[in-house]
């Protein structure tokens, strides 16, 4: 399959998955986020472990309840900052209560004086995922580049966080697509680490 065909197929799958996500009632979305946060986290949180999260946009699942839980048990947090099109995200240290600025697309992010962080685990937003650990993002490749850059420096566990309704049968993956290690949904923890 050529690259243009893959991009077209991903665009169609993305649109369908986002429509399903958008159709979920707000109360159901909020309950899903709380369910994920209440469940046992699939990684041991060692003191000082760095977990990068994100602020949700549009109808994305809200990772903030999970991030609060992880911080409460000793994780250090980080948030992404958009460095520009075609560049990996910069992950900057963050603690609840720290001041944030409005970044690209109005997403709240740490200011430039917050230190950069190399995560041990990354909570990754997505439009769709499959049972092989592949995901479809929003099309710009920010997270694929960021995961690859972080994994070039040390082992990093990439954890997709999504609604079960975002699962699809197959993601058309390309060599530049970074595979997830886990996906957390309101229904289950899906572990790809031994597959």
Taking the C-alpha atoms of residue 158 and residue 122, their distance in angstroms, rounded to an integer, is 5
**Backbone torsions φ then ψ of 151, nearest 5 degrees:** -70, -20
pLDDT digits (tens, 9 = 90+) for 3-60: 788 889 999 999 999 999 999 999 999 999 999 999 999 999 998 999 999 999 999 9
Q: Both tokens of residue 186?
A: 């309101």
Instruction: Tell me the DSSP string of 55-87.
Output: ---TT----HHHHHHHHHTT-EEEEEE---TTS
Query: What is residue 118's DSSP assignment?
Result: -
Taking the C-alpha atoms of residue 62 and residue 77, their distance in angstroms, rounded to an integer, is 15
Q: 1: pLDDT confidence band, cut at 50, 70 and 90?
A: low
pTM comes to 0.95
């Amino acid at each position: 399959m050529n690259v243009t065909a893959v991009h077209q197929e991903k665009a169609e799958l993305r649109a369908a998955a986002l429509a399903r996500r958008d159709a979920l009632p707000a109360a159901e979305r909020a309950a899903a986020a709380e369910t994920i946060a209440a469940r046992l986290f699939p990684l041991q949180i060692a003191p000082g472990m760095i977990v990068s999260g994100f602020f949700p946009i549009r109808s994305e699942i809200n990772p903030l309840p999970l991030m609060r839980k992880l911080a409460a048990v000793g994780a250090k947090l980080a948030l992404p900052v958009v460095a520009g099109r075609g560049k990996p995200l910069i992950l900057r240290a963050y603690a609840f209560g720290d001041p944030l600025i409005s970044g690209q697309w109005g997403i709240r992010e740490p200011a430039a004086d917050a230190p950069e962080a190399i995560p041990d685990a990354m909570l990754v937003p997505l439009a769709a995922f499959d049972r092989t650990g592949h995901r479809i993002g929003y099309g710009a490749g920010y997270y694929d580049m960021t995961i690859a850059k972080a994994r070039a420096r040390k082992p990093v566990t990439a954890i997709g966080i999504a609604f079960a309704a975002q699962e699809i049968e197959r993601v058309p993956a390309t060599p530049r697509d970074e595979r997830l290690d886990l996906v957390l949904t309101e229904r289950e923890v899906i572990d790809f680490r031994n597959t």
